[in-house]
Amino acid sequence: MSLEKSGKYIVIEGNDGTGKSTQVAVLAEYFRQSGYEVCVVEEPGSDNPDKTTPVATYLRSVIKNGSLVRSAEINLALFSAARRDLWQQKIQPALKRGVVVLSARNYFSTLAYQGYGEGMDIEEIVRVTELFTDPRYMKPDLALILTLSHEVRSERIAMRGELKNPDTFESRGQDFQDTVNQAYERIATDHGVSLISAAGSIEEVHTRILDKIKEM
């Protein structure tokens, strides 16, 4: 992989429990050891301040507040506001410096969850995201979607203790999760994104991801 002056924007996507953050962390170490400067971000925000912005962190706390009943449209507004701040404050400046930007999630998550999962119009999601971001954001240099069976994902999420917390999308039933999984398959087809099996060890999944990166 050769870096241009505009850097590289690589996105790791997938349903909850597929290991996105873990693979981003492993990938970041790989790039750093290869001599690249790396910026890691998590959408819509993160507990790690290095991976987010104060605005995105606050909006994430609202998004994860299950006591606030809200529509898919409100969720889109919240995600889009966080996304804009991350793009303007973290992702875009890093790309302009020639940095490798690794992101756990981007707007494909909103297509999957709010679009196919909650029934919001896909074209409206795309329109709003284009308004809040940039053509470079809309088309990453590489996007990969991690896939994993519902049973294994549930085990991983349970190990993190998040199934006890009703404020997250992880707590929704299997019908919703199946819809999201099917949505990611459709997104992969519609956007030319590769599906990567997240089954196996961290190292095995990392190797599958590297194979795709080496094709860039």
Range of the domain at 153: 8-213
- Residue 26: its H or E element: helix 20-33
Q: Is residue 1 part of a domain?
A: no
pLDDT in tens, 82-136: 999 999 999 999 999 999 999 999 999 999 999 999 999 999 999 999 999 999 9
Number of domains in the chain: 1
Instruction: Please state, as a whole number, how many other Cβ atoms lie within 10 Å of the Cβ of residue 78.
Output: 17
Q: Is residue 2 part of a domain?
A: no
Q: Is residue 135 part of a domain?
A: yes
Q: Is residue 60 part of a domain?
A: yes
Read off the tokens for 77: 């507004």
Question: What are the two backbone dihedrals, phi and then psi, of residue 41, each rounded to the nearest 5 degrees?
Answer: -130, 155
Q: What is the CATH number of the domain that holds 140?
A: 3.40.50.300
In this prediction, the residues of the chain whose per-residue pLDDT falls under 50 are 163-164, 166-167
pLDDT of res. 161: 63
Q: Is residue 117 part of a domain?
A: yes
Q: Is residue 3 part of a domain?
A: no
- Closest Cα partner for 145 from 110, 107, 103, 197? 197
Q: Is residue 125 part of a domain?
A: yes
Q: Is residue 13 part of a domain?
A: yes
pTM here?
0.92
